[in-house]
Structure 1
């Protein structure tokens, strides 16, 4: 991957079907891993369309091909207002939701690369904090967050369940 051109860009309406295909793979991967996350009809095609309409859908491109999808939302996650624990900061933040890697790019460290790009994105917006949550049984994401030095802050209630909440200060 070292010689690959990797860029983060806003998703556009033409990307919807590719993104939805990647999310379907991720939903199935969660199911096969025995995770309850994403097994209740969320996210769905409407979620992706809504992300793109709102301008919060992003894709990580590898050599011109969509490899990873994520929603990056500024300061807007009502569920984060109530945390059983404490966030590291109270200022502006980027929320990371719906991270999904295309199967053909799996195992190449691209989710970690996505988080590097999200940190750059946050800094470019003069935002010092990134917040993310995941299911207790999403071991892949928990490992990524640990490797990227996100701090466990407590639990939030989201999408009908308790989620582990993490934050990283990036500037």
Structure 2
């Protein structure tokens, strides 16, 4: 992995099948873990196509092979305007949604690398912070957010479920 070239780039419509496959693997993994997250028909292929069309879809590539998908949305998450708790800031922010890792790249620290690259992306755009939410039972993501220095801010309601919300000030 050390010699591999790892890059974050905008997803293109040609990536949609591989992205959808990666998301389906994640949906199945969440189900096997006994999670309720992503078990109600969301996200789906329309979600993927919409993310790409709106310019929200990003992929982390390892030697040009798509390994991780994430949606990065600037300043726009209506659910975040109502939080049971308090955000660290009121400035511009990047929202991270729909993180999914290809099984063959799992366990290699790529989601941590993804968050490093999202921080660089956020800084390069002069944006103040990153906000993210996850299911209370998504232990892997909760551990990553903790290791990356995200602060727990409270709870938000998204897609009919209560999620733990986190924020990290970048600049």
TM class by smaller structure = over 0.9
Question: Could you tell me which residue of structure 2 aligns to residue 27 of structure 1?
Answer: 27
Matched, 1:109 2:109: yes
Question: Could you tell me which residue of structure 2 aligns to residue 97 of structure 1?
Answer: 97
Question: Could you tell me which residue of structure 2 aligns to residue 41 of structure 1?
Answer: 41
Q: Distance in 1 between matches of 2:2 and 2:93?
A: 29
Shift of 1:83: 0.2
Question: Could you tell me which residue of structure 2 aligns to residue 66 of structure 1?
Answer: 66
Shift of 1:2: 1.5
Instruction: Report matched runs for 1:109-148 at 5 Å.
Output: 109-148=109-148
Q: Distance in 1 between matches of 2:155 and 2:101?
A: 25
Q: Distance in 2 between matches of 1:113 and 1:33?
A: 23
The TM-score, its normalising length taken from structure 1, stands at 0.99
Question: Could you tell me which residue of structure 1 aligns to residue 76 of structure 2?
Answer: 76
The TM-score, its normalising length taken from structure 2, stands at 0.99
Q: Distance in 1 between matches of 2:127 and 2:5?
A: 25
Shift of 1:3: 1.3
Question: Could you tell me which residue of structure 1 aligns to residue 162 of structure 2?
Answer: 162
Q: Distance in 1 between matches of 2:28 and 2:62?
A: 23
SS of match in other structure, 1:38:
coil
Unaligned 5+ runs, structure 1: none
SS of match in other structure, 1:76:
coil
Unaligned 5+ runs, structure 2: none
Q: Distance in 1 between matches of 2:150 and 2:48?
A: 26
SS of match in other structure, 2:131:
strand
Q: Give the alignment's Cα RMSD to 1 decimal.
A: 0.4
Q: Distance in 1 between matches of 2:3 and 2:86?
A: 40
* Divergent runs of 4+, >4 A: none
Question: Could you tell me which residue of structure 1 aligns to residue 7 of structure 2?
Answer: 7
SS of match in other structure, 1:121:
helix
